[in-house]
Structure 1
Amino acid sequence: MKNRPVRVGLQLHPQGADYAHIRESVAAAEELGVDVLFNWDHFFPLYGDADGKHFECWTMLAAWAEQTQRVQIGALVTCNSYRNPDLLADMARTVDHISAGRLVLGIGSGWFERDYTEYGFDFGTAGSRLDDLAAALPRIEKRWAALNPPPTRQIPVLIGGGGEKKTLRLVARHADIWHTFAQGEELAHKMEVLRGHCGREGREFADIEVSVGVGGPGRLGRLPDPPEVEGLPLYDMGARLFTVGIGGPTYDVSVIEPWLAWRDALNAR
């Protein structure tokens, strides 16, 4: 894990903005050198005007795949409930080809009830949604193996969430990247839980990239070296992908520049 380079992600919240601003921000972020560009998979805004402007996740990712040349792209995260797993696998394979192998399949069990009720999906319970995700992941992998043409490479799977009994077991079994908002002692504890699941699954813990959401512009301030939250250094704990989120109606992508400078200095050591 010590040898894994630091990467910096930027999540463009697909709400409250005209698509022209999103397109411009994608171009600006790639030009700055962001490693991964994320959107999210919801149908309505998560903050601000609940009925404000909002765009769909996967059609947007296909557009990003065509627009960009270098940056990786993905959802943080796709909701497993909204699409048949075999269809999602095919969609991901297609965007993978459009992007020439730059897609990250971020996926989670879902949580935003309004999406479910207004679009006619069964909300169920947190437990049933996690069970559905557990059943979907092998189907996605099986469909990738059956598609013609297959994906350009083994598509990296990012699983978001921190449930210690189910979610982290799925991370150990299926994921290349684990995304969390946990920090400090909570992150240290969950990483030990994940390490235990990896041992039981016969998986090397070091093979999983630890991704941490580090908030938005309000949390940047002066950037420590390395960034610290609640007094514990995230880098020394093993985090290697750091993602900042920003929203519309316009996107100030310059807030990511201190993180990129820190990344470059650290990776040059």
Structure 2
Amino acid sequence: MPQLDTPVRLGVQLQPQHVTYPQLRDAVARLEEMGVDVLFNWDHFFPLFGEPDGAHFESWTMLAAWAEQTERVEFGALVNCNSYRNPDLQADMARTIDHISAHGTGTGRFIFGTGSGWFARDYEEYGYEFGTAGSRLDDLAEGLARIEKRWAALNPAPTREIPVMIGGRGEQKTLRLVARHADIWHSFVTPDEVAHKLDVIARWSEKEERDTSGLIVSNELRDRSEADADALYAAGTRLFTLGFSGPEWDYDVVRSWLRWRDAKNA
């Protein structure tokens, strides 16, 4: 069963494409002030839509800047691509960003969202082997084990047990990795699919001998109605993410979902 007694949280994914960095920085400040719970970017090297060669910024360096800029929100990539970086290096970067974000409280706010990658252009133009969906998931499985081992060895250690978010819906490999490693499971599945996917995770959890009763279920709000969000909530979703496009940021959409969140938490 997922974690149901946790408050509903709203995460906004600032898409790092077709904008300037000052515009992104201003959006981060405004969203934190508005009361958003989590800020995300994505881990790609080129725009995913619009002008394919338009302006675009890299994920991890941006996250380090957010760690210093923000005071309250949690943050991370939705999601990091395991393929681009040595797993031990990913662990060290995550630990460092965790510490950067701990100013004022002593506890970091970084969420390690990760996945196996899918956008072929990222691989082809930056010289990474694309492989197959299966081989990339196998690499992710190996990488997560190394990341957890490295976190246990780093000096200084992370300020907290860094939450791991895994994105995807595949039942044979991805959801087994969720059962083995994740604190948060993110997907775009419909409300009527959630129960089945959670049952798959529960069965994998038994095989992995890991307690996933605290798992947070995450899903996307973009292009969905409040009725859809209500149905996802009823199915156990507690973290709701919203893709957010600039440079003409529509903050009224964020305000409406913040009101919905607050009503759920009342």
- How far has the Cα of 1:260 moved from its partner? 1.2
Map of 2:97 onto structure 1: 95
Question: Which secondary structure state, in structure 1, belongs to the residue aligned with residue 213 of structure 2?
Answer: helix
Whole-Å separation in 2 of the counterparts to 1:204 and 1:144: 20
The residue number in structure 2 matching 1:256 is: 254
1:55 aligned to 2:57? yes
Partner in structure 2 of residue 240 of structure 1: 238
- Equivalences for residues 116-127 of structure 1 within 5 A: 116-127=123-134
> Shift of residue 254 of structure 1?
2.9
3-state SS of 1:50 partner: coil
Instruction: Choose from 38, 41, 45 the match for 1:39.
Output: 41
Aligned equivalents of 2:5, 2:191: Cα separation in 1: 22
> Shift of residue 243 of structure 1?
0.4
Whole-Å separation in 1 of the counterparts to 2:229 and 2:119: 30
Distance in 2 of aligned mates of 1:260 and 1:249: 21
In the other structure, the counterpart of 1:23 is 25
Does the CA contact (< 8 Å) of 1:21 and 1:250 recur in 2?
Answer: no
- The answer for unaligned runs of 5 or more in structure 1 is none
Deviations 1:167-189 (A, max 9, x none): 00000000100000001322222
2:76 counterpart residue number: 74
Q: State the alpha-carbon separation in 2 of the partners of residues 237 and 219 from structure 1.
A: 15
Structure 1 vs Structure 2 CA RMSD = 1.3
Give the whole-Å Cα distance in 2 for the aligned partners of 1:252 and 1:227: 19
Provide the C-alpha distance between the structure 1 equivalents of 2:141 and 2:224, rounded to a whole number of angstroms. Answer: 34
Alignment correspondent of 1:13: 15
The SS at the match of 1:227 is helix
2:163 aligned residue:
156
Shift of 1:263: 1.5
Deviations 1:117-160 (A, max 9, x none): 00000000000000000000010011111111111010000000
What runs of 5+ residues in structure 2 fail to find an aligned partner?
103-107
Query: Structure 1 vs Structure 2: percent identity of aligned residues?
Result: 64
Q: Deviations over 1:215-249 (max 9, x none)?
A: 1xx445xx34x824xxxx11111100000101122
Alignment of 1:151-190 (within 5 A): 151-190=158-197
TM-score (norm 1): 0.93
Q: Give deviations 1:32-74, integer Å, cap 9, x for gaps.
A: 1111000000000000000000000000000111110000010
Equivalent residue, structure 2, for 1:193: 200
- Output the CA distance in 1 between the equivalents of 2:38 and 2:246: 19
CA distance in 2, matches of 1:179, 1:219: 16
Query: Contact conserved, 1:21 with 1:251, CA < 8 A, in 2?
Result: no
Q: Describe the SS at the equivalent of 1:182.
A: coil
Cα drift, residue 206 of structure 1:
2.2
CA distance in 2, matches of 1:30, 1:115: 30
What is the rounded CA distance, in whole Å, between the counterparts of 2:251 and 2:28 in structure 1? 9
Q: Which letter maps to 1:99? A: S
Are residue 208 (structure 1) and residue 215 (structure 2) matched?
A: yes
Superposed displacement of residue 2, structure 1:
2.7
The structure 1 residue matched to 2:120, chosen from 113, 126, 130, is: 113
Work out whether residues 22 and 251 of structure 1, in 8 Å CA contact, stay in contact via their aligned partners in 2: no
Q: Distance in 2 between matches of 1:191 and 1:256?
A: 28
* Contact in 2 for aligned 1:28/1:253 (Cα 8 Å): no
Deviations 1:176-221 (A, max 9, x none): 0000000132222212111211222223332110000121xx445x
Q: CA deviation at 1:258?
A: 1.6
Runs of 4+ in 1 over 3 A off after TM superposition: none
Asked if the contact 1:17–1:250 (Cα under 8 Å) also holds between the matched residues in 2, the reply is no
